[in-house]
């Protein structure tokens, strides 16, 4: 794994080299909630939480629906001892309300049957 400045992160060298993940490095509190400030100030043990799998065994799988990518990710996560985010299907509004009520730092939504579309240009700070 490389940092955003393309420096190798030794702590995460156990990740498979033939996969590209979408995930985030976080520090989790005792309830398992991510705490950005703890990561920022070096309090706690950083953990890589995987959201999605974009390339598997060197192949681009972004065209596969989320459910299919997630099934592959489940196998990879088990094989390599990765921590992955929970997947909630069909409850976007109530999930959003829960995230707000629990004062969590964020979440991501995807349509389960859609693929990930690669972006031709990426501007710093935009999606």
Q: Could you give all domains of the chain from N- to C-terminal order, each with its CATH number? A: 10-101 (3.30.470.30)
Long-range Cβ pairs for the range 25-33 (8 Å, 24+) = 25/49, 33/102, 33/104
- Model pLDDT, residue 14: 83
* 68 half-sphere exposure, CB direction, 13 A CA radius: 13
Whether the predicted pLDDT of 91 surpasses 90: no
Spatial distance between the Cα atoms of 62 and 10, rounded to a whole number of angstroms: 27
* pTM for the predicted model, two decimal places: 0.73
- Model pLDDT, residue 106: 60
Q: Regarding beta strands 20-27 and 46-56, do their DSSP bridges make them parallel or antiparallel, or are they unpaired?
A: antiparallel
What's the Cα-to-Cα distance from 51 to each of 41, 42, 43, rounded to whole Å?
24, 23, 23
Q: Which residue has the tokens 């598997």?
A: 56
The pLDDT confidence band at residue 1, using thresholds 50, 70 and 90, is confident
Residue 60 phi/psi, 5° resolution?
-75, 115
The chain-wide mean pLDDT, for the chain, equals 80
Report percent pLDDT > 90 for the chain: 32
pLDDT tens for 7-52 read 888 888 888 889 999 998 899 988 888 888 898 898 999 999 999 9
What residues does 55 pair with on adjacent strands? 20, 60
């Amino acid at each position: 794994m490389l940092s955003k400045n393309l420096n190798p992160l030794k702590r995460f060298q156990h990740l498979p080299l033939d996969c590209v993940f979408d995930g985030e490095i976080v520090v989790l509190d005792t309830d398992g909630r991510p705490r950005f400030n703890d990561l920022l100030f070096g309090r706690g043990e950083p953990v890589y939480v995987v959201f999605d799998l974009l390339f598997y065994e060197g192949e681009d799988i972004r065209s596969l629906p989320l459910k299919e990518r997630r099934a592959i990710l489940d196998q990879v996560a088990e094989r390599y001892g990765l921590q992955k985010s929970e997947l909630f299907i069909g409850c976007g509004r109530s999930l959003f309300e829960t995230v707000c009520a629990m004062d969590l730092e964020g979440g991501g939504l995807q349509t389960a049957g859609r693929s990930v579309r690669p972006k031709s240009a990426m501007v710093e700070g935009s999606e």
